[in-house]
Amino acid sequence: MDMVVDHAPRRFAVVLEYGEQIDAKIVAWGLALDDGAYMATVDGRNQYAMASPENALKYVGARPNTTPHLVWVDGEAAE
C-alpha cells in the first residue's frame, strides 16, 4: 500500500479572488499527477489535461478586478 500513497495525485483548487480580498470562489478542482495535471470546472462544463498544475490559471477567464490563485488542498505541493 505504500506504493499507492507514494503515487497519489496532489489535489488543488483554482480560486478566483474578487477585488482586494473582498470575495472569492472556487472555480475549478484539479489533480497534479507525476507527468501532468487534470482540472475540471466546478460546474462540470469544462475539463482540461495540462502539462503542469500551474497551467490551470491560463484556463480561468480573466475578468476585470479578479485574480486567479492555485491553492493546494493539502498545503504546499511536494516537488
Unique residue bearing C-alpha cell 484539479: 30
What pLDDT is recorded for position 76?
63
Q: How confident is the model at residue 12 (pLDDT cuts 50, 70, 90)?
A: very high
Nearest one of 45, 42, 47, 67 to 57, comparing CA atoms:
67
Q: Is residue 19 over pLDDT 90?
A: no
Q: How confident is the model at residue 79 (pLDDT cuts 50, 70, 90)?
A: very low
Residues in the chain: 79
What pLDDT is recorded for position 22?
79
Q: Is residue 59 over pLDDT 50?
A: yes
